[in-house]
Amino acid sequence: MDYYKFVSASVAVALAVGGVTVLAPPASGKTGPVVVTAKVDIVVRRIGYLDLNLTSEPGQLTLSRRVGGAIGSLCTEATGGYDGNFHTGIASRKCHTSAWNQARPQMARAVQRANEIASTGSSTIAAAGISIVLSK
């Protein structure tokens, strides 16, 4: 999935989820607000790690395994699964690459936060689960 498709899907999701109302001054003053909605098929996985000690290698490995499992199910859902076809194989690989590209920076921030808290007692990095969002 390319960057622009992801951004477009994200904007459409924001519009659909929020049921965003766009208000514009009508020319005649007699019409009401315009409601813009959009339907986009997206798949989302959120991975928690509060139970893990991310300052340790076993904790980081467990997080990586959780993320890998979530990405596997996410990409199966997003691509319809691998049926042995060359094109679905490519789609699956692209999905995995895109999902890992989203997850890795979040994982790195989580580990950095854990290390900061372990060494100084606090961190400027906000606590957050790992979220991966892809369009179907």
What are the beta bridge partners of residue 46?
Answer: 131
Judge if 2 and 61 occupy the same domain: no
Instruction: Check: CB of residue 42 under 8 Å from CB of residue 135.
Output: yes
Judge if 33 and 98 occupy the same domain: no
What's the domain range around 95?
A: 44-135
Tokens of 113: 């936060």
Phi and psi angles of residue 32, each rounded to the nearest 5 degrees, phi first: -90, -170
Judge if 102 and 61 occupy the same domain: yes
Judge if 83 and 52 occupy the same domain: yes
What is the chain's pLDDT, residue by residue, as a tens digit (136 residues)?
444 444 445 444 444 444 434 444 444 455 667 776 666 689 999 999 999 999 999 999 999 999 999 999 999 999 988 788 888 889 999 999 999 999 999 999 999 999 999 999 999 999 899 999 998 8
Judge if 51 and 87 occupy the same domain: yes
Judge if 79 and 121 occupy the same domain: yes
Judge if 86 and 27 occupy the same domain: no
Judge if 111 and 87 occupy the same domain: yes
CA atoms in the 13 A half-sphere facing the CB of 71: 20
pLDDT at 117: 97
Which residue matches tokens 């989302």? 44
Chain-centre distance for alpha carbon 16: 16
pLDDT at 21: 40
**Distance between terminal CA atoms of the chain?**
10
Instruction: Report the residue count for the chain.
Output: 136
Q: What is the SS3 assignment for 77?
A: helix
Judge if 77 and 106 occupy the same domain: yes
